[in-house]
Structure 1
């Protein structure tokens, strides 16, 4: 199993990260422009298409949304309590919490899901929904928490900033188009599909470029606290919630595995976009992804036993 994950999931991810690092060293890429492309086109397109092509029933969709709300709520309370007790600055509170609750459900979670379930359509739809919910969380709480930190409580500007974000609209439109079986003409579906398929490469190349820009400082306590919550506490919460809610079968396995993803690339992209602790964010993404080689292997085994 470890060999399969290394060759089929982790190695492709790190080849792209390495390519981004090399390109940054050679050409000094414009990270601001790359972040804009991700925020305003690629991610909204991927979220819309995931919801538009979803194969889940309404009851299962509601169950997954309920699970996810509880899962994120518990993680947020734990992160909030920890950062407050350690007296972190406002900017660091936002960056730390984002590193814990914003995971890599898309460009890491989707390949892991495909490997673990051998392309099962239900499992893929569940992971797509988790990815969409994660994107919605990223562009609601994730964005607003950083804007609040940078704008020092100017909530009017924070709300206006959120309303300018395209991902929530893409999520709602995708669900509506799916519910009413609205056909998409080829000249619209093709550009959206191309953008969706490019998401993994563009996001990971950007991360690789960011890692070169910000040196890794392994002596940071906040880094290890983030890793502890993201890689160990989060999947533990996921397992307990699946058991408490009585979820069984493929949905149970998919949700358990989804709860064990590393810190998401979007946490780093947000930090770069708004200049909020970008070095810390890039480090949590890289190191949590490296360590996830071990934790996700164990979690897949646990999921299969419990599911």
Structure 2
């Protein structure tokens, strides 16, 4: 229970604050999300990767990200074949199982449970997951060549992509940044995580339409919240890596569905109500599953 009160409950309280605020005031979530994406998140990405010491562990994170992505897609396609789901339902299930909330949710959980030493790995993984989601998420939501090209353009428009490249490049070339500049970046970086947490609560509060197709919901939620961490547990048992890296990828693999997948589902009409329902269910279930997982890890 200590893990719940020390890690999970404080995080849920911040999510709850965003949820309640949105229910009371109905603010423009897109504007706050834009501020996070274009100002605070790039600063967080740059400062953490600039201070990181790159090693073989980052290669393992890349392998893990692609392995989990294609494994989740495989299982969803298997369920779609067994249960004879329509293509739009399959696409919605892929969005909610292959793409987890490693940013708004995963990063604060890792920070609170593993500490600052794990943050460079968590941030690197968050950027990588975002890029994969922008490409494969848009592709599966649209199921078209034009969607794939649009996805690639989306990645190139994301400031966090360039912040990651600059952070890694500056660190590799040992470029010194003036203290006045870096202190500003650090200030923005420190505000990024709580802002991301509040935005997630507001995004959940903005869900208005639900579709409780329990066959799909249980299949997708079970894949995302149970099957995913079990598969990654076997993965980290077979792959030699630093214990911190193993803990980071195990925690991220157990995260609920990414809230941003709902935007893709709405834009490309890939069962948005179903995607919203799975996102909400997995987020609620995570209160229990994340608590159990953190107790096992610690």
TM-score bracket for the superposition, by shorter chain length = 0.7 to 0.9
Q: Deviations over 1:283-302 (max 9, x none)?
A: 43443233223222333454
C-alpha contact 2:44 2:188 (8 A) present in aligned 1: yes
Corresponding position of 1:224: 218
Q: Does 1:212 align with 2:210?
A: no
Q: Deviations over 1:109-154 (max 9, x none)?
A: 233334443x262x343333322322332333334444x35xx542
Displacement of 1:233 in angstroms is: 0.8
Displacement of 1:282 in angstroms is: 4.2
SS for the counterpart of 2:169 is: helix
Corresponding position of 1:169: 162
Query: For residues 84 and 35 of structure 1, what CA distance do their matches in structure 2 show?
Result: 36
Corresponding position of 2:70: 73
Query: For residues 284 and 196 of structure 1, what CA distance do their matches in structure 2 show?
Result: 31
Q: Does 1:185 align with 2:178?
A: yes
Query: Number of matched residues?
Result: 295
Corresponding position of 1:255: 249
Structure 2: unaligned runs, 5 residues or longer: none
Corresponding position of 1:82: 79
Q: Which moved more, 1:132-141 or 1:224-233?
A: 132-141
SS for the counterpart of 2:86 is: coil
Cα RMSD between the aligned structures?
3.1
C-alpha contact 1:32 1:272 (8 A) present in aligned 2: no
Query: For residues 254 and 190 of structure 2, what CA distance do their matches in structure 1 show?
Result: 23
- TM-score, with length taken from structure 1: 0.79
C-alpha contact 1:44 1:167 (8 A) present in aligned 2: yes
Q: Which moved more, 1:249-258 or 1:65-74?
A: 249-258
1:142 to 127, 137, 146: 137
SS for the counterpart of 1:261 is: coil
1:41 to 33, 39, 42: 39
Distance 1:174-1:270 versus aligned 2 partners, 3 A rule: farther
